[in-house]
Amino acid sequence: MIPPVRFAELVARVRALPGRPLVGICGPPGAGKSTLADRLTAALGEAICVGMDGYHLAQAELARLGRADRKGAPDTFDPDGYVDLLRRVRGQASGTVYAPRFHREIEEPVAGEVPVRRDHGYVVTEGNYLLMDGPWRPVRDLLDEVWFLQPDESLRRDRLVARHREFGRSLDEARTRTLGSDEHNAVLINATASRADLVISGVL
């Protein structure tokens, strides 16, 4: 069992990285990626968080492709767009790079909502597939470090059910989604943990 890590140690770890670090937080659905990314961004100061979820395909496109019932699977995103964003941020010399943000309340990404300025000294990104192969492979090379969140599986599933309930699904619908497509994706994602720089079971 991997012991929890202290949050202050994570902040110090990022501050010790050279240059303008790009740090990724990876893990399966419900692992707590967004919570940790937002907390880390706030603690670092002069930092910005861009999420992989901003590269969800739109609902209309998922319906056209016949993938709407598998939303969240690797092929329901635009990995090339996400890679292009990270490359632009990595090479950013001046100005502003605009990133999209995903809104769960409408289940759609909104373009241009996250302004990444050159004076942001730290860039944090989070998402499910930062360590995947295939079209996602360049992501790993564009990040200085990737951390993998791997909490207790029962806790993770409970969080996921609660999230689905919060955004309008019934209890049965939430459980079906959690133990269905979400669980399938979690198996794929957990298989990539060995590629991370740090595996975290929880944060104190």
Per-residue 3-state assignment (H helix, E strand, C coil) for 38-72? HHHHHHHCCEEEEEHHHHECCHHHHHHHCCHHHCC
Decide: pTM greater than 0.85: yes
Distance between first and last Cα of the chain: 15
**Alpha helices per DSSP H over 92-170:** 137-142, 153-166
Q: Is pLDDT of 176 > 90?
A: no
Is there a contact between 6 and 80 (Cβ–Cβ < 8 Å)?
A: no
Our CA dihedral for 80, 84, 90, 94, rounded to 10 degrees, sits at: -170
Q: What pLDDT digit, counting tens, does each position of 59-91 carry?
A: 999 999 999 989 999 999 999 999 999 999 999
The answer on pLDDT for 6 being more than 90 is yes
**Angle at Cα 136 formed by Cα 130 and Cα 137, nearest 5°?**
90
Write down the pLDDT at residue 164. Answer: 84
- pLDDT band for 95, please (50, 70, 90 cuts): very high
Q: Which two tokens stand for residue 138?
A: 């360049």
Q: pLDDT category, 163, cuts 50, 70, 90?
A: confident
For domain 7-200, the CATH superfamily is P-loop containing nucleotide triphosphate hydrolases (3.40.50.300)
Give the tens place of pLDDT for each residue, 23-43. 999 999 999 999 999 999 999
